[in-house]
Copies of this chain bind each other. A is one copy, B any other.
Amino acid sequence: MEILNKIVWNKDQLISAIIQDADTKKVLMMAWMNEESLKKTIFEGKCYFWSRSRNKLWLKGEESGHIHFVKEILLDCDNDCLLLMVKTEEGISCHTGRESCFFKQIKKNGDTMNEIEAVKMSPERIYKEKK
């Protein structure tokens, strides 16, 4: 895997990965990958990330069932950011049960936020049904 040598890893040996829905073009989430998670993502065609809070590898959807299937992986001009085009399960990416993690719209004055996306499935239902 030549690509692993091309990537400019940050000081924690991670690269940021933007996840975009291949069909709707909606940006769903941003997460981090280390070498192992990128390798597994390429080999298996499912998104694996490195959890900085839990300090472990995770398969996106391992608990929720909302696996992200990889259609295309793109690297940016500086070789320090990835963009993954994915197909989702049930159109849900966020742990809150929304399609996208980016559901808080900042108002023009910077003072308050609107929630612009509805919850498609409650977290209680997601994590009870899928475990």
Q: Does A59 contact B (CB under 8 A)?
A: no
Identical copies of this chain, number: 2
B-contacting residues, A74-131, CB 8 Å: 74-79, 81, 83, 94-96, 98, 101-106, 108-113, 116
**Which B residues are CB-close (under 8 A) to A39?**
110
Contact, CB under 8 Å: A112 / B76: no
**Which B residues are CB-close (under 8 A) to A43?**
110
Chain A 23-50, CB-CB to B under 8 Å as 1, else 0, gives 0011101100000000100110000000
Chain A 65-80, CB-CB to B under 8 Å as 1, else 0, gives 0000000111111110
Considering the complex, give the chain B residue whose CB is closest to the CB of A80. Answer: B30
Chain A 9-30, CB-CB to B under 8 Å as 1, else 0, gives 0000000101010000111011
Bound CA span A111–B79, Å: 15
Bound CA span A20–B28, Å: 12
What's the minimum C-beta distance from A10 to chain B, rounded to whole angstroms? 10
22 A/B residue pairs, CB under 8 Å, sorted by A: A1-B109, A1-B111, A2-B110, A2-B111, A3-B106, A3-B110, A3-B111, A3-B113, A16-B30, A18-B18, A20-B27, A42-B110, A43-B110, A73-B105, A74-B102, A74-B103, A74-B116, A75-B104, A76-B102, A76-B103, A77-B95, A77-B101
